[in-house]
């Protein structure tokens, strides 16, 4: 199917593909808009005044919860932003390009059936800040692991409750790098 108005022509086919051509003094600027809705892909390719192409790609896969955004930059490189949601496994990944050409990666990992939460964030120095929260309510375990600013070490706090056995263990990391352990063992009180 063709739709032409003046010197601008749009072509649509069965593949959900759109191409527009505009003529300016013998030069053509082509824009390709490509939708594949079953795979949720949108590609936008545009010619630039210098004769090159500007590529913008938007990729949605909602069944797998993936969103990829690739954009061309004025310097000829690419700016890539990736958003990855997998809600069945409770994973969120955020990858973003930085002005220096590197990538900023933020990962959020929730697994609520196993009660695990992992938070990984990139730091300005190029390293990673990792925070892990681990809840196991069926076993009554809570683990809190946090990264510290000093040399990429970890600050680990562990709280362990076993209420059926009436045991409470409190393990905390100390500023010197050791551990402070407190154990509380309670006997079950019977009704009088």
Q: Tens of pLDDT along 133-165?
A: 444 444 444 444 444 444 444 444 444 444 444
Among 29-38, 49-58, 138-147, the minimum mean pLDDT is found in 29-38
Q: Using one digit for the tens of pLDDT, what is the confidence trace for 94-115?
A: 544 455 555 454 544 444 344 4
- In this predicted structure, the answer to whether residue 78 has a pLDDT above a threshold of 50 is no
- In this predicted structure, the answer to whether residue 176 has a pLDDT above a threshold of 50 is yes
Task: Let me know whether 73 and 98 are in one domain.
Answer: no
Task: Let me know whether 66 and 135 are in one domain.
Answer: no
Task: Let me know whether 67 and 124 are in one domain.
Answer: no
Burial category of 145 from C-beta neighbours within 10 Å (exposed 0-12, middle 13-18, buried 19 and up): middle
CA dihedral (155, 121, 137, 189) in degrees, to 10, reads 30
Pick the last residue of a domain from 77, 106, 133. 77
How far is the C-alpha of 121 from the C-alpha of 107, rounded, in Å? 6
Residue holding tokens 């990666």? 105
Residue holding tokens 């929730």? 110
CA 177 to chain centre: 32
Q: Is the pTM higher than 0.75?
A: no
Q: Dig out the tokens for 52 from the structure.
A: 């090159």
Task: Let me know whether 110 and 148 are in one domain.
Answer: yes
Task: Let me know whether 62 and 93 are in one domain.
Answer: no
Task: Let me know whether 59 and 97 are in one domain.
Answer: no
How far is the C-alpha of 82 from the C-alpha of 72, rounded, in Å? 14
Give me the domain span that covers residue 158: 87-192
Q: Is residue 82 part of a domain?
A: no
Task: Let me know whether 137 and 181 are in one domain.
Answer: yes
Pick the last residue of a domain from 77, 109, 126. 77
Q: Please tell me the predicted confidence (pLDDT) of residue 151.
A: 40
Residue holding tokens 């191409």? 19
Task: Let me know whether 61 and 119 are in one domain.
Answer: no
Pick the last residue of a domain from 34, 58, 77. 77
């Amino acid at each position: 199917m063709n739709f032409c108005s003046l010197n601008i022509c749009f072509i649509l086919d069965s593949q959900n593909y759109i191409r527009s051509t505009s003529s300016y003094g013998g030069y053509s600027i082509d824009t390709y808009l490509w939708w594949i809705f079953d795979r949720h892909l949108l590609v936008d390719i545009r010619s630039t005044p210098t004769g090159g192409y500007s590529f913008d790609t938007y990729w949605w896969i909602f069944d797998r919860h993936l969103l990829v955004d690739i954009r061309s930059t004025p310097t000829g490189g690419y700016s890539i932003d990736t958003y990855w949601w997998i809600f069945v496994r409770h994973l969120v990944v955020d990858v973003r390009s930085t002005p220096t050409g590197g990538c900023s990666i933020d990962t959020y990992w929730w697994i609520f059936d196993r009660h695990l939460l992992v938070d990984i964030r990139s730091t300005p120095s190029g390293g990673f800040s990792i925070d892990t929260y681990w809840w196991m309510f069926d076993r009554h375990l809570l683990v809190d692991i946090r990264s510290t600013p000093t040399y990429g070490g970890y600050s680990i706090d562990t709280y362990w409750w076993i209420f059926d056995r009436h045991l409470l263990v409190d393990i905390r990391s100390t500023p010197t790098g050791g551990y402070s352990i407190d154990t509380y063992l309670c006997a079950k009180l019977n009704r009088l």
